[in-house]
Amino acid sequence: MIIPCIDLMGGKVVQLVQGRDKALEGDAPLEMVRKFSEFPEIQVIDLDAAMGRGENSDLVEMLAGKARCRVGGGVRTADRARRLIGLGAHRVIVGTAAFTPALQDISQAVGPERILIALDSKGGKIVVKGWQEATDFTAEQVVQKLEPYCDGFLCTYVDKEGMLQGTDLDWFRRLRAATRHELTAAGGITTLDDIRELTALGIHCALGMAIYTGRLDLAELARLNVHHPASHA
């Protein structure tokens, strides 16, 4: 399954390079939902909430009311997870909190079936807090321990995120071998070949920069989605 991404910052749709530098702004959020209407699911990340500088709850609510959305950004407490589900999110994405005792509370509050855990890798190690802090472990080391708390994993290869230089297919192969849970790949996915390779592994593809720059054509991606619908590994 191909999942287009809407990243929110300061009330606007943006695309960042490696989570730091703003590369471009998209159309208004409502227009982006219209553009993505052919896709079964959209990924919405509240970057302000992820970085601890406010949130875009009104926009999240509006988007979740118009499309099936997985929503992330600052989901560090059970209350925040409950609130996002209450706003209409189909599932919530938990990043930083997945590596704290809060994960158990969040999982109990909304149910593991409503949770995707973000495994964001930079320089081979998992990074947290809006990708600003590195941990000592790799995604492959922790994935099985986290399985009971979630329905799947969103795995971002941060080294290539937003750079349109391709992704690390070997990393995704290792992750696929490490878990039977649903996996979504993100970070640097640039070509239809990337998407075909990942789809063949039974991995979903979350796309941002390649869509926003026109590198990949939305109509073609929507057609690809029809031929390769969601496969829950």
Max Cα-Cα span within the chain? 43
The answer to whether 72 and 44 are in contact (CB under 8 A) is yes
Rounded to whole angstroms, the Cα distance separating 48 from 37 reads: 25
> Among all residues, which ones are annotated catalytic?
7, 120
- Cβ neighbours around 7 below 10 Å, total: 23
Tokens read off for 148: 């009971």
Long-range contacts of 92-95, Cβ-Cβ distance < 8 Å, separation of 24 or more? 92/116, 93/43, 93/45, 93/117, 93/118, 93/154, 94/118, 94/150, 95/50, 95/120, 95/128
Phi, psi of 94 (to 5 degrees): -110, 125
Helix, strand and coil content of the chain, in percent to the nearest 5, comes to 40, 25, 35
Rounded to whole angstroms, the Cα distance separating 10 from 12 reads: 6
